[in-house]
Amino acid sequence: SPTTIAFLGLGNMGGPMAANLVRAGHTVRGFDPVPGARETATQHGCAAFDSVAEAVEGAGVIITMLPSGAIVRAVYDQVLPAAAAGALLIDSSTISVDDARAVHEQAERAGFGQVDAPVSGGVKGATAGTLAFMVGGSEQAFAQASQVLEPMAGKVIHCGDTGAGQAAKVCNNMLLAVQQIAVGEAFVLAEKLGLSAQALYDVVTGATGNCWALETNCPVPGPAPASPANNAFAPGFATALMNKDLGLAMDAVGSTGAQAPLGSHAADLYGRFAADHGDLDFSAIIDTLR
Ligand code: NAD
């Protein structure tokens, strides 16, 4: 059923996500401090407002898609006093598990249902309405949220209680970072051994070392024609974004005391690579191994 949805953060991801909600018949009230983002949203059928408080007025659902945990906290400080009773809060930003739990508690104390619902799929998935949502929260809040997320989603997975969505995202991306570096190491070693990239690809894609970082995101041109390596490493998934997610993974490693020697090393390597190559696909890290 059509709902009034406030959408806060109309950037690269939030803009097209809000447009898909409009397309599905919802009334969308948007806010972003950047005038250009508000203009684009208006062209897509959103109503744009000059403040968080105005945008959330009367909304049954309030979605945030913001750059960082600090900004989500600051925006929640403005949302909670202004939101209508009974509103459901959905945060789709990628933030730390600790920040996700903190804003959830803040929302709950103010009487609102709230879920963390970070995404994977990038701007492509946001535009196509095929994002994967990883949701943390109660059964009831999940059931409510998944209906609203549907027009933006390929799949919506209930990962567990509050923070579980962010936990799933951070674990996946730490694993992916380690795999992409390891795949780079294998291709560089093959080069030095005189083994062709195509032969390595053909063997490993049918063997036990296979993974998405090799089969789909192959870091050398040729074997997987659609991978960023064939296009001067235009992303794809930009190194700067991987580096942000690894920072959150390291926050989680620190706060839980988990042992992650390879994840920590990957975070270190991507931190250095991001300083000069943040705009390249993260598979370009292979060039630092040559
Ligand atoms: P972005 O920087 O393009 O958009 C963020 C928007 O938030 C900006 O337009 C900014 O002006 C706005 N904003 C800042 N302060 C605000 C405030 N106080 N109130 C309202 N809006 C405010 O970033 P993005 O690429 O859209 O990413 C958004 C989130 O999604 C991030 O947490 C990111 O990690 C995550 N994410 C991004 C991708 C991707 O491929 N871009 C993929 C998955 C997840």
Quote the ligand 1 centre to 185 CA distance (angstroms): 32
The reported pLDDT for the residue numbered 139 is 98
The reported pLDDT for the residue numbered 166 is 98
Give the β-pairing of 61-64 and 119-120: unpaired
Burial class of residue 85 (count of CB atoms within 10 Å of its CB; 0-12, 13-18, 19+): exposed
Quote the ligand 1 centre to 9 CA distance (angstroms): 6
| Mutational test site, ligand 1, from 8, 17, 32, max ligand atoms within 8 Å of CB | 32
What DSSP element (H or E) covers 88? strand 88-91
The reported pLDDT for the residue numbered 188 is 98
Q: Is the CB of residue 34 below 6 angstroms from any atom belonging to ligand 1?
A: yes
The reported pLDDT for the residue numbered 149 is 98
pLDDT at 50 over 90: yes
Q: Is the CB of residue 247 below 6 angstroms from any atom belonging to ligand 1?
A: no
Residue (of 129, 40, 114) closest to 79 by Cα position: 114
pLDDT tens-digit series, residues 101-139: 999 999 999 999 999 999 999 999 999 999 999 999 999
Quote the ligand 1 centre to 191 CA distance (angstroms): 39
The reported pLDDT for the residue numbered 1 is 84
Quote the ligand 1 centre to 15 CA distance (angstroms): 9
**Confidence band for 187, pLDDT divided at 50, 70 and 90:** very high
Rounded CA gap, 21 and 194, in Å? 52
Rounded CA gap, 266 and 282, in Å? 11
pLDDT at 169 over 90: yes
Contact 157, 133 (CB under 8 A): yes
Q: What is the rounded average pLDDT for all residues in the chain?
A: 98
Q: Is the CB of residue 223 below 6 angstroms from any atom belonging to ligand 1?
A: no
pLDDT tens-digit series, residues 199-253: 999 999 999 999 999 999 999 999 999 999 999 999 999 999 999 999 999 999 9
Q: Is the CB of residue 240 below 6 angstroms from any atom belonging to ligand 1?
A: no
CA angle 239, 241, 243 (to 5 degrees): 65
pLDDT tens-digit series, residues 173-184: 999 999 999 999
Give the β-pairing of 113-116 and 47-48: unpaired
CA distances from 131 to 13, 63, 124, 255 (A): 10, 15, 9, 29
The reported pLDDT for the residue numbered 262 is 98
Q: Of all protein residues, whose CA lies closest to atom 34 belonging to ligand 1? A: 94
ipTM at complex level: 0.99
Residues in the chain: 290
Reported as half-sphere exposure (CB side, CA atoms, 13 A), residue 234 has a value of: 3
Q: Is the CB of residue 132 below 6 angstroms from any atom belonging to ligand 1?
A: no
Candidates 155, 169, 192, 244; catalytic one: 169
Roughly how many angstroms between the first and final C-alpha of the chain, as a whole number? 55
pLDDT tens-digit series, residues 13-37: 999 999 999 999 999 999 999 999 9
Residue (of 50, 44, 71, 75) closest to 62 by Cα position: 75
169 is catalytic: yes
Q: Which whole number is the average pLDDT over 67-84?
A: 98
Q: Is the CB of residue 12 below 6 angstroms from any atom belonging to ligand 1?
A: yes
CA distances from 159 to 115, 142, 164, 166, 237 (A): 11, 10, 5, 9, 23
